[in-house]
Every structure is written in structure tokens, then in C-alpha cells.
Amino acid sequence: MALHRAGKRTEAEPLYRQAAASFAEDPRYHYLHGLCLLELGKLDEGIAAMADAVRLGPRHPGSHYALGRALALKGTDEERAAGHLRTAIAQAPAMIEAHLELGNLLARRDDPAPAFEVYKTGLAQAPDHPGLAVNYANLLYQKGDREEAVALWERMLQRQPNLAAAHSGLGIDRRNRGDVAGAEERFRRALAIEPRNAECRFNLGVTLRYRNNYAGAIEELKKAIAANPRMRRATMELARCYQAVCAWQNLEELDPALEQEFAAAEANRPTFMSPFFSLSLRTTEARRLAVAKVRAAAAAARAVREWQGPRIEHRPGPRERLTIGYISSDLRDHPAGHLLVDLFGLHDRERFAVHGYSIGPNDGSSYRKRFERDFDRFVDLGGEGNAAAARRIADDRIDILVDLNGMTALSRPEIAALRPAPVQATWLGLPGTTGADFFDYALTDRQVTPDGSARHFTEALCMLPDSYYPTPVWPFETAGPADRVAEGLPPQALVLCCFCAHYKIERTAFERWMGLMRQLPGAVLWLLGGSPEAEWRLLDAAEAAGVPPRRIVFAPRRPKAQHLARLALADLMLDTFTYGGHTTASDALAMGVPVVTCWGDAFASRVGVSLLTAVGLPELIAETPEAYGDLVLRLGQDPAALAATREKLAASLPGSSLFDPARFARNLERAYCEMWRRQLAGEPPGRFEVADLRGQ
């Protein structure tokens, strides 16, 4: 014991072993031996010694606590671990560390409610215990009581500034509110205190990805995986980072991990593959559906655990005006906000009341101010828990709730899972199914979801005419004319462009582009810049394909009006394949730049098809990648054909349904009326098409 107290565990251990052998029926020696072994990191031997101590001295709470903690650390028998920790608490209710350990063990499960009660019981005895308070706040935050959790974290930090878990919790809150810089600062403070904390490393890596610091994100995620090789979600985040910087070889090396996540979803087990990430990976629609269903079911389970009180009851009936609620994290200066900016003010107020529910940050932009003005009622739910948000929507008597996020970043599907409205639809944010049974309809069109698509959706398909894709009023507001030389482009070159995010640029697409560049020696490829890691990889790939890097031009990120102005300098946009251009393609068309796309096998790959059909240029839709290449080559080698295509596009823009949000609003309203008719008739949600009455 003297050696142990002096920190000389290696010398103490054999003496404890000898004592335990000599006094085999005395639990004290097995207990001390077990403690020493556990502190030396000899987990299995320590568990065996502590099990002997418990067998011989079953009424010693310290032995039960140590054995339960060791079993929890090993992770192979959590029920046994929880049993010993509960016994320790029963024998010594004031043993706060046992409350903390049991709570931590239970908090890792799908249902954290038992952990919540354990922490609460412990805090009744030790209200200022930092570990209990911080972890209790974590569960409060997950439960939706965000303001209470933040207040508790901050109170604990006032008393003990070096609580890494509290800094980490505040970092998650900052990130969820859109303050990624503040989130990064909090996670770095946490890691300065606990540099080996894998959870903090993971959260910092995710935050750095949000900040487009991919090199930093990759470094932190690798450290998280080194600290905890079983952290599958860190591996999925790492895969997303590799994809975002076009590190195709590194991404392919993670194929076994990606396969593991898809297989888990197909077996209806928890998966760390996100529905959004699955859309940009080459896989089947059936596997994407499996991922979405697992993640949606998990969201629904979380929502049920948060809810207290009776189920929300609805009273649908005939209405003079339907009340439509739109819920989104993107009612701000965001690509989705750019698309929707003219829509909400165009709804027919004699027939519809329109409410907006923001679950994202308030950026104070002109877009945000426009949304606040155009809705009949605008509610910021950013500080509300999921249950409180659902109650607010239900109290507002929303008839049809339209979720504009789907399963994407900053989404909160738990709100819709509580069924705050009698009819619920998903639209725009996720180009695919949510996998949820709490959305009745998905708003779509015949191009992105042709015949046969319904089997890959849990929602009934509501087919809008022309395109499901909304846009502002044409012509778009721009910053004035741009100049090729000022943008780093050759004055006379054929400019092929693709301003899609880099994660959409696959190896196969880029190789196809490089083949075209070799056949079009006077062309340059104009890509979105902003990520040094992606830029140098793409330049290396171009050089390896025999295309001089000087023929690849990167455009720095610019405000929307400036970007649109320079976009008009391009001759032709090249669409990506698995996850095609959406806003990038509609922007190009609006600025008079034709888009060549390829008919894909999924919603996310067919949005270009929808846009080109709506604007009257179906001849730019190729059936295969080979035909796509032939089409680009023909237009690139024939200036007259390219000019004729641009003239046709220019002539179609003024009267195009694609850029007529007033007409789009009327068609959307017809969809809502049909959804409500079916609801009143007691009909289950089912596929239907909306007839386009040409803006009447």
C-alpha cells in the first residue's frame, strides 16, 4: 500500500498478488490488487481480481463501483456493469462517482431517460458536482431544453473554468446556432484541457469542415480515430472531408467503412451514414432508402422521448383559408434562401395564411429581413426545444407543415416527428426520401421522380408541373457586367464551367472533362475555388491526364450578385453525375449559359434534367456519359451550334415557367388544396399530379 500511494504501482502489484494468494478468502486484498491492476491498464486481470473481491465481500460498495466502472470501460457486458453500479449506489447512496459512472453508461444507449434520472438523483445529493451537472446538461440539450442546458454549462464554468465537457457542450450549441467560429474556439479550449478527448477532437473536426478548413478537419478527425478506433462517425466525417477535397484515392480506401454503414442500415441497425452523404456516393436507391429510414426512425424515437403530455390532437375541417407553415434552417443568406426569396410573398392571402418557422441562425441579411416581412407570421424557433417547437406549431393551428430541410445539416426532424400538423410534406432541402413515416408527401416532379421511383420513397409523391425547383423572378439581380480578363479567363477561349461544390466532382466526371479538354485545345475549365486542398488535387489530376494546369481556372467565392454577373462570361456549364448541379444549374440558365447534363439514376442526379425540361432545352439532356461527352464536344467544336443554343435559351427565359415564382406559387397552392381535400375525405396520402393552369 505504501508503494501504491507513492505511485509505484509496478512494484506494488506483485506484492498485492502475493497477499491475495496468501489470504484468498479476504476480499480486501483482492480489492486492492484489482485497483492496482486497473490503474496499470490491465483491464481483464483487474476485472477478474475485482470480481473475486465482490464475490467474497458482496456488501462492499467500492468493489461494486470499481468492477462496474471497469466493465463499462471494456464495453462487452454493459448490463453487468450497470448492475454493479446500481448495487454500489444502493449500498452507498452518497457515492456520487457511482451515479456519474452509471449515468454515463446509460447515456450511451438509444434511450437516455434512465441516465437522466440517475444524474438527477445524484445532483439532489451533490448539486454542484461538475461531472454530474455537465452530463445532465448534455442530456437536457439532447432533450430539447437548450436554454437550461446552456445556463447550467455556463454556471459550472464559473465555478470550475477547466471543465472540458462544458466547453464542448457550449461548442455544440454555438455550432447549432450557426456560430462556427465560436464553436471552434470552445472546442479548442476543451482540448487544451483534455488533449486526448476523442469526442472533442471529433467535434472540432466537424466544425472545421463547416468552416471549409478541410486540412484542419482531416487532421483532427484522424486524431479522434487514433484515440478511439471504434468511433465510426469520425470515419464517416473523414470520408466526407476526403470527398470535399477530391481526395479520391483516400476516399476509396474507406470503402470498407462505407460498406459497413450501408450494411448496418440494410439490417435495420444504427448507422453513421447520413442520408445527405449517401446521395453523393455511388450506390443504389434501395440502400439510400435504408439509410434514411434508420436515421428517421432514430429521430422519431428521440422526439417521443422528449415529448411530455398527451399526443397532439388535430381538428381538420373545411377552411376559408388554409394555414401553411414552412419550417427551415435556411431562411437567410443561403442557397435555399436565394431560391425561395420571392415565393412566400406571392401566396394568395385570400385563400392561404403563411407562417415561417426558422430553426437556423439569424444572419441579419437582406434575405432574412425579406422573409420576416413576407410571412404572415415569422417565428424564430432557434432557442426552443423540439417539443416546445412542435407545441408552438400545433398551437398556431397549422394545417399543412412543409419542411424545407429534410435530413440535412441543421435540420430538426424531431419537430415534424411529433406531428404538429395534420398534413406534413417535405420539399427542396433533400433531393431524395427522408425515410420518415411522419411526412405524408414529398413535393417533386416527373423528371426527378419518373415512373418507378415511388418504391424508393416513404412519402407519397406530389408531382408539380414543369419543375419542382423554385427560383426568384427573372431577370436576376446582378452586380453589373463582368470582364473575362479581370476574372482570370482568356478573352477568346471556350469557357466550360462547373461551379458545383467540389464534393460533387467525382473521379469519373473529372476524367470525362479532361478527355473533352484534350479534344478542345482552345478551352479552359472554370471551377469554383476556395479550397486550396481541392484545387491542388484537381490541378494534379489535370496534369496527370495530359491537360496543362494553366487551363484550369478557379473562381474565388463572391457575393451572390457578383457571382451571377461573372457567370454570364461562361459559354457552357458541365453538370456533375451522381449529385448534379441544382442551384448552380438554375443560376447558369438564368444567366443565359446552357447546361449539358446526363440522365442519372437518382433524384439528386436528375435535377438538371428537370431544369432543362422546364426551360425548353431537352436536347441538352444526354442519355449516357458517352453521349454527354459527344454533346459537349459537338457544341464546343461548332460555334454556330453553341450560339444557336444560347439564342434559344435567351428567347425562352422571359416566359419560362422555371423563372416564374407567381405561377409556381399557384401550382404549389393547388398541391396543398389536394392534400387537404384528401385529408378531409379520410383518404390516405397517395401519389398525385398537379395540373399546370398556366398561372391562372
Beta bridge partners of 353: 323
Which of 433, 463, 493 delimits the end of a domain? 463
CATH number at residue 444: 3.40.50.11380
Residue 433 is assigned to a structural domain of this protein:
yes
Q: 546 with 426, same domain?
A: no
Q: 511 with 404, same domain?
A: no
Q: How far apart are CA 372 and CA 275, in angstroms?
A: 30
Q: 450 with 592, same domain?
A: no
The whole-number pLDDT of residue 506 equals 97
Residue 265 is assigned to a structural domain of this protein:
no
Residue 557 is assigned to a structural domain of this protein:
yes
Q: 493 with 403, same domain?
A: no
Residue 648 is assigned to a structural domain of this protein:
yes
Q: How far apart are CA 394 and CA 392, in angstroms?
A: 5
Total tally of structural domains belonging to the chain: 2
Q: 451 with 500, same domain?
A: no
Residue 391 is assigned to a structural domain of this protein:
yes
How many other C-beta atoms are found inside a 10 Å radius of the C-beta of residue 488? 13
The whole-number pLDDT of residue 142 equals 81
Q: 346 with 494, same domain?
A: no
CB 565 within 8 A of CB 486: no
Residue 138 is which amino acid?
A: N
Prior bond of 490 cis (ω within 30°): no
Best CA proximity match to 163, nearest among 139, 185, 133: 133
Q: 530 with 431, same domain?
A: no
Q: 448 with 520, same domain?
A: no
Letter string b/e over residues 661-690, b meaning 16 or more CB atoms within 10 A of that residue's CB: bebbbbbbbbbbeebbebbeeeeebebeeb
Q: 454 with 573, same domain?
A: no
Residue 611 is assigned to a structural domain of this protein:
yes
Residue 643 is assigned to a structural domain of this protein:
yes
Q: Which element (helix H / strand E) includes 441?
A: strand 441-444
CB 593 within 8 A of CB 571: yes
The whole-number pLDDT of residue 695 equals 45
Q: 400 with 533, same domain?
A: no
pTM over 0.85: yes
- Separation of first and last alpha carbons in the chain: 89
Residue 241 is assigned to a structural domain of this protein:
no
Q: 346 with 433, same domain?
A: yes
Q: Which residues touch 371 (CB under 8 Å, ≥6 apart)?
A: 331, 332, 337, 341, 344, 356, 358, 378
CATH number at residue 593: 3.40.50.2000
Mean pLDDT per 10-residue section of the chain, whose length is 696 residues? 94 96 95 95 94 95 94 88 94 92 84 84 88 90 85 93 94 90 97 95 96 96 95 97 98 98 97 97 97 96 84 89 97 95 97 97 94 98 89 97 94 96 98 98 98 97 96 92 95 97 97 98 95 96 98 95 96 98 97 97 97 97 97 98 98 94 96 97 96 62
The whole-number pLDDT of residue 206 equals 97
- For residue 420, the enclosing domain spans 322-463
Backbone φ and ψ for 572, nearest 5 degrees, come out as -155, 135
Q: What is the dihedral of CA 228, 232, 233, 238, to 10 degrees?
A: 80
SS3 139: helix
CB 291 within 8 A of CB 271: yes
CA distances from 19 to 9, 32, 45, 114, 371 (A): 15, 10, 16, 40, 75
Q: 404 with 547, same domain?
A: no
